[in-house]
Amino acid sequence: MTEADRLRYDVLVIGAGPAGLACALTLKREKPELSVAVLEKAASLGAHSLSGAVIEPAWVDRLLPGWRDDPLDIQVPVSRDRFAWLSHGRAFRLPTPPQMHNAGNWIVSLGALVRRLGAAAESAGVEIFPGFAATQPLWDRAGALAGVRVGDLGRTREGAPGPNFSPGVEVRAGVTVLAEGCRGSLSRTLIRHFGLDQGKSPQTYALGLKELWQLPPGRTVPGSVLHTVGWPLPTDLYGGGFVYHLDRDRLAIGFVVGLDYEDPDFSPFEAFQQFKHHPGLVGLFEGGEILSAGARTLIEGGYPALPTLEMPGGLLVGDAAGTLNVPKIKGVHMALGSGIRAALHLIQNGGPEGFDQNFRHSEAGRELWRVRNIRPGFRAGLWVGLANAAVETVTGGRVPWTLTNADDWRSLKPRGPVPRPHRRYRTRILPPADRLAFVDLAALHHEENQPVHLQVADPALCVSQCSARFGNPCTRFCPAGVYEIVTDAGGSRLQINAANCVHCKACDIKDPYELITWVPPEGGSGPNYANL
Amino acid sequence: MAPMKILVAAKRVVDYSVRVRLTPDRTGIASDGVKMSVNPFDEIALEEALRIRERGEATQVVVATVGPPEAESQIRSLLAMGADRGIHVETGRETAPLEVAHVLFRLVQEIGPGLVILGKQAIDDDCGQTGPMLAALWDRPQATYVSKLTLSEGRVQAVREVDHGLETVELVLPAVITTDLRLNTPRFIKMPDIMKARQKPLEKRPFDGFGLDLPRLTVEAYLPPPEREAGLRLESVAELVTRLHDRGVL
């Protein structure tokens, strides 16, 4: 490798999401002489960003003064805020939990917010590189993190250099900030390497699916926010839906399911589509058109599962660490806040040391601590979970215990002993008809002839054990239909349609044998979400 | 051989992976949050120009675009690919092929290139007219839909993809070339080159400064293609025959 192939920065940020860009922008504003770069695996900024998103605006006000007067592609003040339990045929309004009150909050597109933050960061002098995926850590002689290796471009399926092969470069940095979002591949490597999760509760996740609709005129109430629990989920499955009315006859609808579910036959995609067909909702969509759709996992372990946020040469921010506030169902303000805090810490202290304690004692850290027991409470089902949430909220989390999570990959029950629940699913009429049509709405770009980025440690086990025991749940939990069991003359085998992958990371989390590892494909691969 | 310059023309378009959609009022293409890219055929044009320069057959590659201020990011990525300098003719409105051809003709008169390479068409409006119009304004030979290009002694040999197969033509330079898909595979952009591209000269000029007063087409309406009706799944041949009878086909 020649000297020209190495790039060196004072601070290197992995991931151009809210946490990473808030960190980079703050660093450059507070200390312009620092050299700061951001690597992003998406082809353009915001293209892999997917969130509800109802956000608390305080940190945005700080980072982007004047943003309220120059609206993002989607930016609507919350005007109405409802919480409902759905039965198969009806909706019952429940009192909105205090954390879910949204007065003063905004519905935005996270993708649009990320593009705006990116533009601000670039004009502040941050170098942003979309289309470049960080694949491996680099170490210094003392064993500290010293930057990353960017993945090669132009390798063939078999891994050999292709005709336009371009080897990845090494990017070295004094401090590397991991801001990859939920289940970041490099963050995961580093959390393991440095044992950052030792002594913490196992992490737990959810999978969210979302569609952005253009509806016929007059059906929306701009700023109206609805969150639901109940149908089509059984009460032992944590999750729910959201319906956000936007301006210009647009509407965002989505569904989130806890990945600690037990039923191997459960399909998050089907649950989302069923949710749209609830009698209280289906009428909204007829004659409408889907503008964009996608899926992404959420990190829900909260304070008990929060890894140590610092390591030699690096630190974790946002959902790469797991700062999402589950009861608020909000992560953007925490991501922005943790990114800003990390930047200020690096400027004051010159390095990552002490950031973990700094964050935990901050207002954001205390916010997470107060709600630490709410998500685990739902492991006992919806109603116990809601009751526990009420107690935790009234006491402000000042109870003498801390509940823990379990690993999501362990939660599936074998097919036999669990009676298949009767779900009373409806015949669907709304698009998308199936997961292929859903994936089509994600505007995927993926060079087919590249190495498969979903690495299965032992594909033989899929048919020798998993088929009989769990019925290959990967063929159902993947919202993009990446995994298929195909049977031909040679018997059954796992087929991986890697080009369908929307980078949600559910397979890396939920596969019951922990065989699947998600690694970044060629930079620039993956979805091109338009304002999700 | 005298030092030769190559002019490459490129357009900012909706990325090919995006399913194009009309705005709700059907006055145009929805662009909110939609990924924009360099027209893929124009990347092929630049790749070919860079290969000619790398073989020592040209000394400088200039890339030009006519487009909105945001097109700067496309021209920067072409500079990162390897173009030596850029010209960004800025306009807030859609431009027609004839207007772009006139702008390029002015640039040709200024720069004096031996070769102008363009994509065979832009993937948004699929006109395929800008290259031929430029050749006509300039009164120089042209080869369109080119899948192989060889330079020698002030001439260029071009293999064209035509309906009945391949056609080989030889042109006297200077000339206009438009590229087809099979001409080459564009290189990936390297990170260090992105930084170098920030230092490369990029000249911005207002489109209005060209003082063009040309007849323009007006788009009256955009319509999505008609939706195909769902098919029917029938149980038997007999049922098929009955259905065809009912519709008066048999």
Mean pLDDT on A221-240 = 94
pLDDT digits (tens, 9 = 90+) for A239-268: 999 999 999 999 999 999 999 999 999 999
Task: Write b or e for each residue in A328-346: b if 16 or more Cβ atoms lie within 10 A of its Cβ, otherwise e.
Answer: bbbbbbbbbbbbbbbbbbb
Beta bridge partners of A242: A227, A254
Nearest to A442 by CA among A391, A489, A499: A499
pLDDT at A139 over 60: yes
Query: Position A263: which residue type?
Result: D
Which chain B residue is nearest to residue A290, measuring alpha carbons?
A: B21
> Which residues of chain B neighbour A288 with C-beta distances below 8 Å?
none
B17, A444: Cβ pair inside 8 Å?
A: yes
Please report, rounded to a whole number, the percentage of residues in chain A having pLDDT higher than 90: 87
Mean pLDDT on A208-217 = 97
Who wins on pLDDT, B44 or B225? B44
Distance CA A234, CA A222 (A): 31
DSSP 8-class letter at A17 = S
Chain A nearest C-alpha distance from B191 (Å):
7
Which chain B residue is nearest to residue A126, measuring alpha carbons?
A: B195
Distance CA B126, CA B135 (A): 18
A-facing residues of B in 120-159 (CB < 8 A) are: none
Which of A167-171, A396-400, A433-437 bottoms out in mean pLDDT, i.e. has the lowest? A396-400
**Which two structure tokens, joined as six digits, stand for A395?**
């006491």
At residue B223, the pLDDT reads 87
At residue B33, the pLDDT reads 83
Q: Which residues of A touch B (CB under 8 A)?
A: 4-5, 7, 43-44, 46-47, 73, 109, 111-112, 115, 127, 129, 131-132, 150, 153-154, 163-164, 166, 169, 171, 214, 217, 248-249, 289, 291-292, 440-441, 443-445, 528-531
Judge whether A530 and B32 are in contact, CB under 8 Å: yes
pLDDT digits (tens, 9 = 90+) for A46-97: 999 999 999 999 999 999 999 999 999 999 999 999 999 999 999 999 988 8
**Helix and strand numbers, DSSP H then E, in chain B:** 6, 11
Chain B nearest C-alpha distance from A406 (Å):
38
> Which residues of chain A neighbour B35 with C-beta distances below 8 Å?
43-44, 47, 443, 528, 530
> Which residues of chain A neighbour B32 with C-beta distances below 8 Å?
73, 530-531
Residue B192 at interface with chain A, using a CB cutoff of 8 Å: yes
> Which residues of chain A neighbour B70 with C-beta distances below 8 Å?
none
At residue B231, the pLDDT reads 82
Q: Count of A–B CB contacts within 8 Å?
A: 67
**Could you say which of B36, B188, B192 has the minimum Cβ distance to residue A4?**
B192
Mean pLDDT on A101-110 = 94
pLDDT band of B27, cuts 50, 70, 90? confident
| DSSP, residue by residue, A232-281 | TS-TTS-EEEEEEE-STTEEEEEEEEETT---TT--HHHHHHHHHTSTTT
**Could you say which of B33, B35, B185 has the minimum Cβ distance to residue A109?**
B33
> Which residues of chain B neighbour A292 with C-beta distances below 8 Å?
33
Distance CA A44, CA A40 (A): 8
> Which residues of chain A neighbour B33 with C-beta distances below 8 Å?
46, 73, 109, 111-112, 115, 292, 529-531
pLDDT band of A404, cuts 50, 70, 90? confident
pLDDT band of B30, cuts 50, 70, 90? confident
Residue B195 at interface with chain A, using a CB cutoff of 8 Å: yes
CATH topology of domain B5-219: Rossmann fold (3.40.50)
Distance CA A212, CA A244 (A): 10
**Could you say which of A164, A249, A441 has the minimum Cβ distance to residue B187?**
A164
At residue A424, the pLDDT reads 87
Let me know if A133 is exposed, middle or buried by CB neighbors in 10 A (0-12, 13-18, 19+). buried
At residue A524, the pLDDT reads 93
Residue B191 at interface with chain A, using a CB cutoff of 8 Å: yes
Mean pLDDT on A385-392 = 89
Its ipTM equals 0.86
Delimit the domains of chain B by residue range.
Answer: 5-219
At residue B233, the pLDDT reads 85
> Which residues of chain B neighbour A528 with C-beta distances below 8 Å?
15, 17-18, 35
Task: Report helix, strand or coil for A347.
Answer: helix
pLDDT band of B250, cuts 50, 70, 90? confident
At residue A260, the pLDDT reads 95
- Mean pLDDT, chain A, whole residue set: 94
Distance CA A427, CA A321 (A): 40
Chain A nearest C-alpha distance from B187 (Å):
6
Mean pLDDT on B11-23 = 90
In chain A, the domains with their CATH numbers are 3-63+113-202+304-374 (3.50.50.60), 76-108+204-299 (3.30.9.90)
pLDDT at A2 over 60: no
Chain A nearest C-alpha distance from B52 (Å):
17
pLDDT at B1 over 90: no
Task: Report helix, strand or coil for B29.
Answer: strand
At residue B21, the pLDDT reads 86
Mean pLDDT on B93-105 = 95
Residue B15 at interface with chain A, using a CB cutoff of 8 Å: yes
Mean pLDDT on B192-200 = 93
pLDDT at A3 over 70: no
**Which two structure tokens, joined as six digits, stand for A132?**
């470049």
B189, A444: Cβ pair inside 8 Å?
A: no
Which of A452-456, B4-8, B115-119, B235-239 bottoms out in mean pLDDT, i.e. has the lowest? B235-239
Place of tokens 């149980």: B235
pLDDT at A189 over 90: yes
Let me know if B144 is exposed, middle or buried by CB neighbors in 10 A (0-12, 13-18, 19+). buried
